[in-house]
Structure 1
Amino acid sequence: MRLAYFSSMKTVFVTVGTTSFDELIEAITSSATVEVLKARGYEKLVLQVGKGTVFPSPETCTEMTLETFRYKDSIAEDIRSAHLIISHAGAGSCLEALGAGKPLLVVVNDKLMNNHQLELARQLYSDSHLLYCTCSTLTETLRTMDISVLQPFLLGQPQNFANFLDKALGLK
Structure 2
Amino acid sequence: MGEGDDSLKSKRVVFVTVGTTCFDSLVRAVDTQEVKEALFKKGYTHVLIQMGRGTYIPTKSAGDDGSISVDYFTFSSSIAEFLKSASLVISHAGSGSIFETLRLRKPLIVVVNEDLMDNHQSELAEELAERKHLFCARPQTLYETISAMDLDSLVAYQPGDATPVAEFINRFLGFRDE
- TM-score by length of structure 2 reads 0.80
1:16 is matched with which residue? 18
Q: Distance in 2 between matches of 1:25 and 1:47?
A: 7
The verdict on how the C-alpha distance between 1:158 and 1:38 changes in structure 2, with shifts beyond 3 A counting, is: same
Alignment equivalent of 1:52, drawn from 26, 51, 54: 54
1:150 is matched with which residue? 154
SS of the residue 2:147 aligns to: helix
Q: Distance in 2 between matches of 1:34 and 1:14?
A: 12
Q: In the TM superposition, what is the alpha-carbon distance from 1:57 to its structure 2 partner?
A: 4.4
The residue type equivalent to 2:110 in the other structure is V
Structure 1 unaligned blocks of 5 or more: 162-172
Q: In the TM superposition, what is the alpha-carbon distance from 1:160 to its structure 2 partner?
A: 8.9
1:112 is matched with which residue? 116
Q: Which moved more, 1:104-113 or 1:52-61?
A: 52-61
1:169 is matched with which residue? none
The residue type equivalent to 2:140 in the other structure is S
Q: Which moved more, 1:121-130 or 1:44-53?
A: 121-130
2:139 is matched with which residue? 135
Q: Which moved more, 1:37-46 or 1:6-15?
A: 6-15
1:100 is matched with which residue? 104
> What per-residue deviation string (whole Å, max 9, x for no partner) do you get for residues 18-64 of structure 1?
11100000100101111111111111001000110023242498732
Q: What is the RMSD computed on CA atoms of the aligned residues? A: 2.3
Structure 2 unaligned blocks of 5 or more: 166-178
Q: In the TM superposition, what is the alpha-carbon distance from 1:111 to its structure 2 partner?
A: 2.0
1:30 is matched with which residue? 32
The residue type equivalent to 1:116 in the other structure is H
1:89 is matched with which residue? 93
The verdict on how the C-alpha distance between 1:159 and 1:122 changes in structure 2, with shifts beyond 3 A counting, is: farther
The residue type equivalent to 1:42 in the other structure is Y
SS of the residue 2:127 aligns to: helix
Which aligned segments of 4 or more residues in structure 1 are displaced greater than 6 angstroms? none
Alignment equivalent of 2:42, drawn from 23, 40, 43: 40
Q: In the TM superposition, what is the alpha-carbon distance from 1:141 to its structure 2 partner?
A: 0.7
Paired residues of 1:7 and 1:81 also in contact (CA < 8 A): no
The residue type equivalent to 2:157 in the other structure is F
- TM-score by length of structure 1 reads 0.83
Largest Rg, 1 or 2: 2
Q: How many aligned residue pairs are there? A: 157
Q: Distance in 1 between matches of 2:124 and 2:148?
A: 22
Paired residues of 1:17 and 1:48 also in contact (CA < 8 A): yes
The verdict on how the C-alpha distance between 1:40 and 1:67 changes in structure 2, with shifts beyond 3 A counting, is: same
Q: In the TM superposition, what is the alpha-carbon distance from 1:127 to its structure 2 partner?
A: 1.6
